[in-house]
């Protein structure tokens, strides 16, 4: 009873029964009234009262003095043609002219008033020379009774309405069950798949079909499941990467210390310096992990201020020129003539730029070129900084992963050819935290172009 499809089916049948009952009652009442009025009007025609009124108007050209006919009507076709119910009483008669203004009425409340709108549909038209000259309306007499044949006709009509109502209720029940099951089945599949995901089976997906809302829910569930599976894969990879990164320096430190203790290596400053370098690597990795965790959690402290990017880029380029000259790489700075102001944290922008320049310098061969370019994007109210190199470039299949944690183009993971593998991931978080975007374009072997944008502010 607590099942959704059962509740929906019961709701459908209740609505159908209530609607059918109300319709049946209203139709019965209206049919009874309309049938009685039809009988009365038909009797008036058979008694010749309508013909008498037409003859009176044709003879007089108006309805003046018509009261003598309606107040004491004498049926022109004789009492032998009258119904039994008409022998002792006639219905209340109301006569209105062609403009629906009441001329005569047995009902005192209608005298000299327009005929009520609800009675106009049942009034008989009085025609003279092919035009309507008046309307005759009759009320039900107090002693009105239907004949056996007429009552039988109404009873048959009522039975037909009841049968239609029962049939409609049955169809409503059947359709209600079908529709309810159709709505509940996708929800049942979603619940079953959700329980599977809760047990760690993240490859669960549900079929997408049905109503638009149900299909949207299935799409959302599948997207959520795919995101959970992807995040779980990234988490496992990250744990494996962190273990790998930590294991290498720890292994070096452990082996070196063991060798020193066993007098394999002499206790010299050069050996201690090597161990010290490995501790620096560990410290840098731990700091990068902490900074990345803070950035992803939105807890990284930023000191936003209006800064001019031109001097910031000039000082950063100067810092790298000596290292670039030693490697035989030419650093080119391309700046606009006008100042470009942004609302950012100068230290974080410098950190991102240094990371991009370090990567570019690492992958640019001798006699190569690194270009730092700054340009405004007026339509988007953003400033774009790009770092382009003439290295070997990044294959297209690797581009989606460039900003992932611990990603390196060098699959050998040789640390002498790269840092911790967190620099670009941190750079993305820093740029996005300041309201910008970061990306990369590469067409091997023509080199790569890393870029990021920052919100521009008015000077």
Which pLDDT belongs to residue 278?
A: 79
Does pLDDT of 1 surpass 80? no
Higher pLDDT, 193 or 243: 193
Please give the structure tokens belonging to residue 97: 């002219």
Q: Counting beta carbons within 10 angstroms of the beta carbon of residue 145, is it exposed (0 to 12), middle (13 to 18) or buried (19 or more)?
A: exposed
Please give the structure tokens belonging to residue 397: 């299949």
Does pLDDT of 166 surpass 60? yes
Give the CATH number of domain 305-455: 3.30.565.10
Query: Which residues neighbour 184 within 8 Å (Cβ) at sequence distance 6 or greater?
Result: 3, 4, 5, 8
Residues of the chain with CATH 3.30.565.10: 305-455
Q: What is the mean pLDDT of residues 159-176?
A: 78
Query: Which residues neighbour 418 within 8 Å (Cβ) at sequence distance 6 or greater?
Result: 362, 408, 410
Strand order in the sheet with 438-442: 330-334, 369-377, 382-389, 448-455, 438-442
Backbone angles phi, psi at 319, to 5 degrees: -65, -35
Of 232-246, 337-351, 400-414, 429-443, give the lowest mean pLDDT range. Answer: 400-414
Higher pLDDT, 81 or 164: 164
Q: Report percent pLDDT > 70 for the chain.
A: 83
**Sign for the pseudo-dihedral over CA of 115, 120, 124, 127:** positive
Does pLDDT of 452 surpass 90? yes
Q: Counting beta carbons within 10 angstroms of the beta carbon of residue 63, is it exposed (0 to 12), middle (13 to 18) or buried (19 or more)?
A: buried
Q: Counting beta carbons within 10 angstroms of the beta carbon of residue 344, is it exposed (0 to 12), middle (13 to 18) or buried (19 or more)?
A: buried
Higher pLDDT, 73 or 399: 399
**Helices 4-47 and 148-198: crossing angle, nearest 10°?**
160
The pLDDT-based confidence of 409 (bands split at 50, 70, 90) is low
Say if residues 8 and 179 touch (Cβ distance below 8 Å). Answer: yes
The pLDDT tens digits for 371-398 are 999 999 877 789 999 999 999 889 888 8
The pLDDT tens digits for 123-158 are 888 888 888 888 888 776 555 566 676 678 777 877
CATH class of this structure's domain 212-296: mainly alpha
How far is the C-alpha of 46 from the C-alpha of 36, rounded, in Å?
A: 15
How far is the C-alpha of 406 from the C-alpha of 292, rounded, in Å?
A: 12
Say if residues 54 and 75 touch (Cβ distance below 8 Å). Answer: no
Does pLDDT of 234 surpass 50? yes
How far is the C-alpha of 219 from the C-alpha of 226, rounded, in Å?
A: 10
Distance, C-alpha 359 to centroid of its chain: 43
Please give the structure tokens belonging to residue 389: 């190199």
Please give the structure tokens belonging to residue 388: 């382009």
How far is the C-alpha of 23 from the C-alpha of 340, rounded, in Å?
A: 75
The pLDDT tens digits for 334-361 are 999 888 999 999 999 999 999 899 989 9
The pLDDT tens digits for 272-295 are 887 888 788 788 778 877 887 787
Higher pLDDT, 30 or 145: 30
Which pLDDT belongs to residue 104?
A: 80
Please give the structure tokens belonging to residue 405: 């944690």
How far is the C-alpha of 239 from the C-alpha of 19, rounded, in Å?
A: 63
User: pTM above the 0.95 mark?
Assistant: no
């Amino acid at each position: 009873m607590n099942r959704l499809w059962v509740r929906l089916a019961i709701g459908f049948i209740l609505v159908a029964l209530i609607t059918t009952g109300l319709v049946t009652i209203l139709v019965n009442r209206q049919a009874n009234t309309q049938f009685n009025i039809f009988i009365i009007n038909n009797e008036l025609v058979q008694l010749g009262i309508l013909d008498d009124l037409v003859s009176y108007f044709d003879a007089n050209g108006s309805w003046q003095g018509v009261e003598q006919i309606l107040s004491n009507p004498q049926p022109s076709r004789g009492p032998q043609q009258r119904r039994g119910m008409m022998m002792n009483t006639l219905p209340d008669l109301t006569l209105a002219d062609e403009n629906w203004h009441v001329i005569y009425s047995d009902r005192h409340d209608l005298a000299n008033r327009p005929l009520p709108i609800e009675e106009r549909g049942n009034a008989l038209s009085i025609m003279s020379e092919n035009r309507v000259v008046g309307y005759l309306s009759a009320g039900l007499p107090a002693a009105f009774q239907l004949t056996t044949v007429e009552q039988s006709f109404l009873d048959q009509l009522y039975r037909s309405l009841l049968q239609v109502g029962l049939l409609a209720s049955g169809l409503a029940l059947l359709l209600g069950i079908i529709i309810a099951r159709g709505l509940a089945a996708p929800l049942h599949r979603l619940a079953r798949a959700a329980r599977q995901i809760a047990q760690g089976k993240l490859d669960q997906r549900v079929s997408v079909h049905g109503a638009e809302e149900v299909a949207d829910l299935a799409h959302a569930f599948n997207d959520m499941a795919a995101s959970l599976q992807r995040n779980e894969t990234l988490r496992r990879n990250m744990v494996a990467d962190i273990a790998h990164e930590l294991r290498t320096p720890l292994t070096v430190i452990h082996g070196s210390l063991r060798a020193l203790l066993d007098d394999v290596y002499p206790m010299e400053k050069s050996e201690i310096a090597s161990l010290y370098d490995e501790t620096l690597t560990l410290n840098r990795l731990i700091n990068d992990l902490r900074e990345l965790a803070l950035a992803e959690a939105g807890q990284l402290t930023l000191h936003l201020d209006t800064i001019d990017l031109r001097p910031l880029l000039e000082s950063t380029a100067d810092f790298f020129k000596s290292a670039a000259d030693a490697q035989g790489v030419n650093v080119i700075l391309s700046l606009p003539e006008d100042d470009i102001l942004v609302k950012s944290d100068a230290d974080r922008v410098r950190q991102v730029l240094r990371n991009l320049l370090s990567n570019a310098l690492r992958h640019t061969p001798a006699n190569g070129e690194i270009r730092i370019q700054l340009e405004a994007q007026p339509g988007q109210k953003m400033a774009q900084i790009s770092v382009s190199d003439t290295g070997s470039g990044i294959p297209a299949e690797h581009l989606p992963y460039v900003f992932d944690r611990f990603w390196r183009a060098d699959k050998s993971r040789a640390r002498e050819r790269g840092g911790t593998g967190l620099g670009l991931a941190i750079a993305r978080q820093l740029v996005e935290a300041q309201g910008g975007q970061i990306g990369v374009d590469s067409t091997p072997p023509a080199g790569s172009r890393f870029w990021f944008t920052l919100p521009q502010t008015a000077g």
